Amino acid sequence: METLMGGPLRFYQLVFVSILCAACYSSLPEKIPREPPDNLQMTSNNFQHILSWRAHSDPTVPTYYRVLYSSHSNWKIAKQCSRIVQPFCNLTDDFQVVSDEYSAFVQSFVGTEVFNSSLLYFSPLSETFLGPPEFNLSSCVHCINITIKLPPTHLRKNGKLLSLFDIYNKVDYEITLRTVGEEHKVNS
């Protein structure tokens, strides 16, 4: 029995191809979310600066990111943050002048399209979180020895890690000794 399209089997092949084409068409780039990265956040601990953001992309379509920053109107591409796929970037090596204020934004590349995030402003000197110091107590007959070790930073100059004294030139602290009925304070 010969039918239109050469028989029943060929008709089923046509239906299969039609369904396959419809499925492929529905996954074309027109269905990719077209939004820039947002919710930029800087996490800075002991002068290690990590920029993160929320991505808006289809996980089946390759999306690449690039971070640009500026401190004096010249935009630069961050050293470790070009053609990356993860939604975060370490800017420690780029933000070396701790007294500067930096601007940063993220570009996402989806296919042939480029999306720019909003700007994030960041000042390392005032916005980094300093971890607690380590200290050691030892006693002698009429004294107490207190050894304080400041947290290390992640900043380098000429290959050498900088200390908090190198960055701030002076670190203030207060030590309070409490005994029964007495309190003694020592300031630096």
Angle at 17 (CA atoms; ends 11, 20), nearest 5 degrees: 145
Same domain, 122 and 141: no
Asked whether the predicted pLDDT for residue 101 surpasses 60, the reply is yes
pLDDT-derived band at 19, boundaries 50, 70, 90: low
Same domain, 179 and 109: no
Chain segment 114-151, per-residue pLDDT in tens: 988 889 999 999 999 999 989 898 988 888 888 888 89
For residue 162, give the nearest of 120, 128, 117 by alpha carbon.
Answer: 128
CA atoms within 13 A on the CB side of 60: 7
In the prediction, which pLDDT does 11 show? 52
Asked whether the predicted pLDDT for residue 100 surpasses 80, the reply is yes
Domain that residue 73 falls in: 32-127
In the prediction, which pLDDT does 15 show? 47
Tell me the mean pLDDT in the region 96-108: 93
Is 40 a member of any domain? yes
Tell me the mean pLDDT in the region 65-72: 93
pTM exceeds 0.85, yes or no? no
Same domain, 144 and 88: no
Same domain, 150 and 93: no
One-character DSSP codes across the chain: ---GGGSHHHHHHHHHHHHHHHHHHHTSGGGS-----EEEEEEEETTEEEEEEE----TTS-EEEEEEEESSS--EEEEEEEEE-SSEEE-TTT---TTS-EEEEEEEEETTEEEE---EEE-HHHHPBPPPPEEEEEEETTEEEEEEEPPP-S-EETTEEPPHHHHHS----EEEEEETTEEEEEE-
Same domain, 121 and 138: no
Higher pLDDT pick, 73 / 88:
88
